[in-house]
Amino acid sequence: MSGIGQSIVVTSGKGGTGKTTCTAAIASCLAGLGRRVLVIDGDIGLRNLDLVLGMNEQVPFDYNDVIQGRCTLNDAIVSHRKIKRLSLLAAPMSIMPGDIEPQVFRAIMRAVKPFYDYVLIDCAAGLDTAFQLAAGAAESAILVANTELVSLRDAARTHQLLREMNITDCRLIINRLRPHQIKAGEAANIDEAMDIAGLPLLGLVPEDETVIACANHTTPLVLQGKTAAGLAFLNIAKRIDGQTVQLPKKIKSSPSRFVMPKKKD
């Protein structure tokens, strides 16, 4: 059915690039396209996917409660009240990522997969235990970067680690795109971004202040009506689901003033 695997880790290396935003919005759009979708918060100790989806009042249990036998997986998976076919499995707040065994996390993934068309894991920043845990349970990856050199180089490093974990289907979302910066050569243009990250492009998401307002009001972006970022996420969801959707016209740009990092083989 789809062009990408059924279990997808949304990652980046760097913090604050928009992983949680992308996970919530893409999952909501996939559900809107008729798919059954589960999102798992992989940010143990610092979860906020429940907030961005407006489900923070709705999650009495997390997956550590399941692991510790305090509830069943069914008790811990919560359906969204307003977005049909979308469910959330929340992360524990009071333990460390290293407290969860990778094989136990993988077993949770195996148990949930038959019931969903897509399972998206919102990964924590960094490349250590939490990343290994989340990526170790996924078949494919979405890397979220901005047009800043540090973010793109972190995406490249993350991609390298994913390949070493045999996750070969990895795609890039460039988030918080600011065309005026690209035109002025102050940010990487799309070709440069793909080149530095070394990844095929899944989609471009513009900087859109509605995203921040929605997060602050715990309103899912898809329930906000038509927004520029919302439309971009819908196109991304369609591509994930195997549809062909044209990318926006290239932004006319000068080459950025970055010193391009040297590539290692």
**Which of 21, 64, 87, 253 contacts ligand ADP by CB under 6 A?**
21
**How far apart (Å, rounded) are the C-alpha atoms in residues 147 and 17?**
10
Residues 213-232 that bind ligand ADP (CB under 6 A): 215, 229
Residue type, 189: N
Stretch that binds ligand ADP, among 57-65, 181-189, 206-214, 250-258 (CB under 6 A): 206-214
**Which of 176, 204, 236, 237 contacts ligand ADP by CB under 6 A?**
176
148 makes contact, choosing from ligand ADP, Mg ion, none, with CB < 5 to 8 Å by partner type, with none
227 makes contact, choosing from Mg ion, ligand ADP, none, with CB < 5 to 8 Å by partner type, with none
Q: Is 175 in the site for Mg ion (CB under 5 A)?
A: no
* Burial environment of residue 147 by CB neighbours within 10 A (0 to 12, 13 to 18, 19 or more): buried
DSSP 120: E
**Which of 8, 9, 17, 119 contacts ligand ADP by CB under 6 A?**
17
Alpha carbon 156 to its chain's center: 16
**Which of 12, 20, 28, 253 contacts Mg ion by CB under 5 A?**
20
Q: How many binding residues for Mg ion (CB under 5 A)?
A: 2
Q: Is 186 in the site for ligand ADP (CB under 6 A)?
A: no
Q: Is 211 in the site for ligand ADP (CB under 6 A)?
A: yes
* Residue in 128, 133, 132, 65 with CA at minimum distance from that of residue 94: 65
| For ligand ADP, the closer CB: 159 or 176 | 176
**How far apart (Å, rounded) are the C-alpha atoms in residues 125 and 12?**
7
Q: Is 208 in the site for ligand ADP (CB under 6 A)?
A: yes
Residues 104-143, mask of contacts with ligand ADP (x by CB under 6 A): ---------------------x------------------
Q: Would you say 159 and 203 are in contact if contact means Cβ atoms under 8 Å apart?
A: no
Query: Hey, which bits of the chain come out as E strands?
Result: 7-11, 37-42, 77-79, 86-89, 118-123, 140-145, 169-177, 201-206
Q: Is 91 in the site for ligand ADP (CB under 6 A)?
A: no
Q: Tell me the CA distances in angstroms from 201 to 7, 65, 175, 236, 240, one per residue in order.
A: 18, 37, 11, 10, 11
Stretch that binds ligand ADP, among 82-90, 94-102, 185-193, 209-217 (CB under 6 A): 209-217
Q: Is 207 in the site for ligand ADP (CB under 6 A)?
A: yes
**Residue 6, Cβ neighbours under 10 Å: how many?**
15
Q: Residue 41 contacts by C-beta under 8 Å, 6 or more apart in sequence?
A: 47, 48, 49, 50, 62, 88, 89, 90, 91, 121, 122
| For Mg ion, the closer CB: 6 or 48 | 48
> Which pair of tokens denotes residue 61?
């249990």
State the residues that interact with ligand ADP by CB under 6 A.
12, 15-21, 125, 175-176, 205, 207-208, 211-212, 215, 229
State the residues that interact with Mg ion by CB under 5 A.
19-20
